Amino acid sequence: SVNIALVNELKIICEPMGIDVWEVIHAAGTKPFGFMPFWPGPGLGGHCIPIDPFYLTWKAKEYGVRTRFIELAGEINRSMPRYVISKVQDCLNFYSKPLKGSRVLILGLAYKSDIDDMRESPSLELIKLLEEKGATVDYHDPFVPEIGMSREYSQFAGRKSHDLSSHYDCFVLATKHSCFSQAEILSHGVPVVDTRNFLPKHKQVFPA
């Protein structure tokens, strides 16, 4: 959780500097020892990392100890979906479109690649935030054909996966499934906010 929060913060720092954080991580990976890569993304998901550190936080409070790193990491990681929303707004502004009334397709509902587990998925938070701002939001995920019940997002239960099409104003690539095709995604001519560094540099790709 702490390492992911650090790399997420580095992504936010690097963006106004014109530095590609993904290139930085790959360069750091050329060190032959003592390096483990962590990758930025749209937020944390799963049943472990977003939740388990706070069991320790809760227990530590019983002993009068504040777990500052854990709490700060949680704060940063929970803020990432809002950072992605700001990038969606920037993307749509580039095409002179407001977020309110736009049609957005989230690519990937599962919290990580090639699984069907959507527990604590940041994609669910992205849908909620986008809809609160007036967007119409669908999702596309071959691993999750229909949204089941969840603890915090029960309002989405029953929604079904949609196909990619040019009827959307923006795609948001939130999960890097290996079955996703770069060529197919780009073929629709829809601008893409890419949170996973999945797509090549392209005029219609907006890193986030």
Give the residue-averaged pLDDT of 130-155. Answer: 96
pLDDT at 47: 86
Confidence of residue 32 (pLDDT cuts 50, 70, 90): very high
pLDDT at 185: 98
Contacts of 160 (CB under 8 A, 6+ apart): 145, 146, 147
What digits encode the pLDDT tens for the residues 67-91? 999 999 999 999 999 999 999 999 9
Q: What is the mean pLDDT of the chain?
A: 96
Confidence of residue 116 (pLDDT cuts 50, 70, 90): very high
The alpha carbons of the chain give a radius of gyration, in whole angstroms, of 18
Confidence of residue 41 (pLDDT cuts 50, 70, 90): very high
Confidence of residue 24 (pLDDT cuts 50, 70, 90): very high
Confidence of residue 53 (pLDDT cuts 50, 70, 90): very high
Q: Catalytic residue at 91?
A: no
58 and 130 in contact (C-beta within 8 Å)? no
Q: Out of 14, 48, 91, 170, which one is annotated catalytic?
A: 48
pLDDT at 76: 97
For residue 58, count other CB atoms closer than 10 A to its CB: 10
Percentage of the chain exceeding pLDDT 70: 100
**CA–CA separation, 110 and 56 (whole Å):** 26
